[in-house]
A and B are shown apart, each in its own frame.
Chain A
Amino acid sequence: MVTRYFGEPIKRNEDPRLLTGRGTFVDDIRPPGLLHAALLRSPFAHARILSIRTEKARSLPGVVAVYTHADLPPVLQEPLPKLIPHPALVHHKTQYALAPDKVRHVGEPVAIVIAESRYIAEDALDLIEVDYDPLPPVVDLEQAIQPGAPLVHEDIGTNVCAHYTQRVGNVEEAFAKAAHVFTERFVIDRGTAAPMECRGVVAQWEPKMRQLTVWDSTQAPIPIRNGLARLFGLPQANVRVIAPDIGGGFGPKIMMFYPEEVLVPFAAMQLQRPVKWIEDRLENFVAMNQEREQIHEAAIAVDGEGCILGVKTVFLYDAGAYIPYGLIVPIVASTTLPGPYKIPNYHCEFRAVFTNKTIVSPYRGAGRPHGVFVMERLMDRVARELNLDRAEVRRRNFIQPDEFPYDVGLIYQDNAPLIYDSGNYPACLDKALEMIGYDRWPSERERYRREGRYVGLGLACYVEGSGIGPYEGCRVTVEPSGKVYAATSVGTQGQGHFTSFAQIIADILSVPVEDVTITTGDSGAFGWGTGTFASRAAVVAGNAVALAAQAVREKALRVAATLLEARVEDLELRDGRVYVRGVPGRSLSLGEIAVAANPLRGTIPEEWEQPGLEATRYFAPPRGTFASGVHAAILEVDIHTGMIQILKYVVVHDCGRVINPMILDGQIRGGVAQGIGGAFYEKLVYDETGQLLTRTFMDYLIPTAMEIPEVEIAHVETPSPLNPLGVKGAGEAGVIPVPAVFASAIDDALAEFGVRITEMPLSPNRLLEIIQVARGRGGGVSP
């Protein structure tokens, strides 16, 4: 089989549609008779609800219904489902569709209004009278674990909902014997994914057939379908959940459920009219899940040569007011921290803590940025303290290319052992150093200093767990027209599945890539799967696509063999036709074979599995596959204003075999942009009453084309032995090491002041403070 498309930067199939405004995002769905919903959200971070009066709202012309918790059926009054339980998660508290008697974060839904327009629905919100009894909130993560702190959930008597430790070896012994031990405290603050499209749900109920159709801006339509069917007592076949075009997901668009995902279908079923709810940006900032807040007390023990003897971190993870998504983020942080290094002794301990802030669930990186930040800062520290070259220290500790598979000794987020399958960390580092000009750097740096400029070089290495199970599936069908249709249930939020999956199929079935149409994210088209998250779609769904296409190919050859009276070994598939080798006149198109495989009379052989030129296959990886890479950057600091400028940014990435390099590079660049945002621009600021002060795009600063530099990308390919395509995930790679690279470069730029960055995100103000404090300690310089 000659590959023509796999590995090529094929232009995307979906672009003509999206470029001409013909995308179908959830707000573009407009069934006739549509009603519009708006939610009343708590203005308090912590309060009891004493009463809610809705009469004025109900009587506003154009308002069709108003629901509070008391108006919901019992099944919707219960806390929403627990996802991903864990033995260490002893208090798995989850959110409500509408708050029953207490609100626990600003933005928690209290009532829903259904009206003829969103304008009127919002007018009605103004008329709902809620009597709140405000309670003292707990906002600060470290205060939340103090005795006497206000309790987010009174009935459990604590704000700590989980305490989990993973260990390898004996870290106490290692530290006791070590030549050097360095400790550090790291603080990373909250951020939000802020996709350009906010969330949204449209629901339509057909009462006679009892069929519920839901369009949802979700990354996981199948779990939503399954959950709604169960909740409303409907057969799964009667519930169809469609994730249409989605304007960015990045993690927080996976939940089961956001309140609106059950309230909107409920309203549609009650009112027997379709209902739409589109989240506005003010809502998104408080109601869409956030992430990133962790505080680490970490330490590293090394010998005289800088070789790691042990690493320890004890950290606090801010879960927000509820913890539906379980311990994924802190477990991922814990298991990403070791990175590409051999760490014989490791202790990673965390407490998950409730606070009166928005719920936390994974956002691109999902804890990996934290693990990398801690480890890479510690490595830079070792280098500086021992006066070793930063790259050399890393090299000395790398897992070597011939040491795979490498068992780190931990359990990963998929409950499987953390075993790195393949990689070549030295090659990635060397390539990054070459691209950034590492050898020239000392003299470059000197040159800048002589010009009065403070410029630094940063670098960071990472290993990214990806491609975890449980499974994904795909059905590939060749129609009589010869065109190919495939369906899988993972959703697409811009990753180009419509093209990358088509490339895989086009190669295997030897058809033009434009003739392959992919359907994703529609439970009516394919009903088994989990969703798009954890950099897994290309790996898990992609391999299912390949297996199904391969099965179709083999069947095509078998059927053709019968029809052409030849042996399968004598056949070849080329340009959509099956030929008898050496007999050009004897051939059949795939379309003709498809017709023959679905006869109107006679019988079909048992070995066919099913009629038609179609196959459904699943891929269930036993464990994840590990991508890796290195980022390096050159960055300038204006020491008088704290402003920074990125002069050069390079990425070396290894995600195994690459399906579409153009799409891959796009993923990396987008991730780097979010990483830069999280390093210097984006910070969610809560005041001491739990109010979110950064609640619009005026205050939460998404970087623009003026702040994001060009990113040079090179690839290293160590194929994964764990799946037939040899691919690894890449969706989160861009964002993971960026805070670490930033800190590393700033430290280097300001080395003469002894600056050591241990917090993220920074800002010009904060950086100026850090510089002034450091200079005040004695590192003086003329203005």
Chain B
Amino acid sequence: MKRRTRANPSSRTAQGRRSAKAQVSPPPLWTQKEIKVRVNGVEYTSTVDVRMTLVDFLRHELGLTGTHVGCEHGVCGACTILLDGQAVRSCLLFAVQADGAEITTVEGLGTPERLHPLQEAFRDHHALQCGFCTPGFLMTTLAFLRENPEPSDEEIREVLAGNLCRCTGYQGIVEAVRDAAQRLRSAHGA
């Protein structure tokens, strides 16, 4: 059910009568809005409450529960997704802000039968234990390796610092990213 609240219509009409240089009337206010998003290559149309966060939209409206909620204040990174190719914290975005955007979540990376090289590397190097922070780390490093295909360990640790893990002590993750960088280079280079 769509509901819209418009700005005061009378002031809009009055302003419409003024000259071209006159002040513009404010755009409408919304409490619910229809959005179109493309997630992992699939287009979705949905009407959402404007205050619904993007992570809640992905998890509960679209059923893509791979992205996790860890803090809802932008520190832990468990909610990291790619928005138009950039790694962002989806707990700090509203679904309405993603209207028209291209989103990649962990579900778009690989399947248990066909893991992405990054996921293979995480498995090989024991880069996950409970797995809760893992999708966030995967999306952060996916974006990172696209920009920086030959990172140093220091650069790897620096980019990982935006995601928290409580289980692994990070060493397995650093090794996995180093290894994944090499695998991805070979895959593209060869």
Contact = CB atoms under 8 A, between A and B. Distances in A.
Of residues A11, A15, A197, A666, which shows the largest number of chain B Cβ atoms within 10 Å of its Cβ?
Answer: A15
Contacts of B76: 196, 281, 697, 702
Contacts of B113: 16
B183 interface: no
Given A15-B123, A248-B130, A706-B158, A196 B164 contact: yes
Interface string B150-166: 00000011101111111
Interface string A10-28: 0110111111111101011
A662 interface: yes
Nearest to A700: B75
A15 B65 contact: no
B107 A16 contact: no
Contact of B132 (A11, A248, A734): A248
A194 interface: yes
B34 interface: no
Interface string B24-39: 0000000000000000
Contact of A669 (B67, B78, B172): B172
26 contacts: A15-B123, A16-B115, A19-B134, A19-B138, A20-B110, A20-B115, A23-B131, A27-B69, A195-B130, A196-B76, A196-B164, A246-B130, A247-B68, A247-B130, A493-B130, A494-B128, A494-B130, A496-B129, A666-B169, A666-B172, A668-B169, A670-B167, A697-B75, A704-B163, A705-B156, A705-B163
A710 interface: yes
Given A20-B109, A196-B76, A697-B71, A25 B173 contact: no
Contacts of B60: 30
B149 interface: no
Contacts of A247: 68, 130-133
A711 B126 contact: no
B12 interface: no
A673 B170 contact: yes
Interface in A452-508: 493-496
Given A496-B129, A669-B171, A696-B71, A196 B111 contact: no
Contact of B165 (A23, A196, A662): A196
B169 A670 contact: yes
B123 A19 contact: yes
Contacts of B173: 705
A711 B166 contact: no
B160 A21 contact: no
Interface in A704-726: 704-706, 708, 710-711
Given A30-B60, A196-B78, A21 B130 contact: no
A21 B166 contact: no
A281 B72 contact: yes
A280 interface: yes
Interface in B111-152: 111-113, 115, 119, 122-124, 126, 128-135, 138
Nearest to A663: B126
Contact of B157 (A698, A702, A706): A706
B106 interface: yes
A493 B130 CA distance: 5
Nearest to B124: A11
B164 A697 contact: yes
Contact of B126 (A16, A195, A666, A734): A666
Contacts of B66: 20-23
A698 B73 contact: yes
A705 B123 CA distance: 18
A195 B167 CA distance: 8
A119 interface: yes
A16 B78 contact: no
Contacts of B132: 23, 25, 195-197, 245, 247-248
Given A248-B132, A696-B73, A702 B169 contact: no
B93 interface: no
B168 interface: yes
Contacts of A706: 157-158, 160-161
A698 B164 CA distance: 12
B107 to A, nearest CB: 5
B52 interface: yes
Interface residues of A, number: 59
Contact of B70 (A119, A196, A246): A196
Interface of B: 49, 51-52, 59-60, 63-73, 75-76, 78, 105-107, 109-113, 115, 119, 122-124, 126, 128-135, 138, 156-158, 160-174
Contacts of A196: 68, 70, 76, 78, 130, 132-133, 164-167
Nearest to A29: B65
Contacts of A245: 130-132
Interface majority SS (helix, strand, loop, mixed), chain B: loop
A204 B128 CA distance: 31
A666 B131 contact: no
B128 A15 contact: yes
Nearest to A496: B129
A17 B112 contact: yes
A138 to B, nearest CB: 30
A20 B119 contact: yes
A27 to B, nearest CB: 7
Nearest to B162: A704
B168 A19 contact: no
A250 to B, nearest CB: 7
Complex A-B, nearest 3 residue pairs according to Cβ-Cβ distance, in ascending order: A21-B66, A247-B132, A18-B131
A415 B126 CA distance: 37
A674 interface: yes
Contacts of B158: 705-706
Interface in A266-319: 278, 280-281
Looking at B78, B111, B129, B174, which has the most chain A CB atoms within 10 Å of its CB?
Answer: B129
A710 B124 contact: no
A197 B68 contact: yes
B126 A12 contact: yes
Contact of A670 (B63, B67, B129, B135): B129
A399 interface: no
Given A197-B68, A698-B75, A669 B161 contact: no
A582 B107 CA distance: 51
Nearest to B118: A19
A705 B160 contact: yes
Contacts of B133: 196, 247
A12 B123 contact: yes
A428 interface: no
Given A20-B119, A196-B166, A281 B126 contact: no
Given A15-B131, A20-B109, A20-B112, 20 more contacts: A12-B123, A19-B115, A19-B123, A19-B128, A20-B115, A21-B64, A21-B65, A25-B68, A27-B59, A119-B49, A119-B52, A248-B132, A494-B130, A496-B129, A663-B126, A667-B129, A670-B169, A673-B168, A705-B157, A705-B163
Contacts of B131: 14-15, 18-19, 23, 245, 247, 494
Contact of A672 (B67, B163, B166, B169): B169
Given A247-B130, A698-B73, A666 B174 contact: no
A196 B130 CA distance: 9
Given A16-B112, A706-B161, A197 B70 contact: yes
Nearest to B119: A19
Contacts of A9: 126
A493 B60 CA distance: 23
Nearest to B108: A21
Given A494-B167, A706-B157, A734-B169, A19 B110 contact: yes
Nearest to B66: A21
B171 A711 contact: yes
B84 to A, nearest CB: 20
Contacts of A734: 169
Q: Which of B73, B107, B130, B167: most chain A CB closer than 10 A?
A: B130
A80 to B, nearest CB: 27
B114 to A, nearest CB: 9
A670 B168 contact: yes
A248 B166 contact: yes
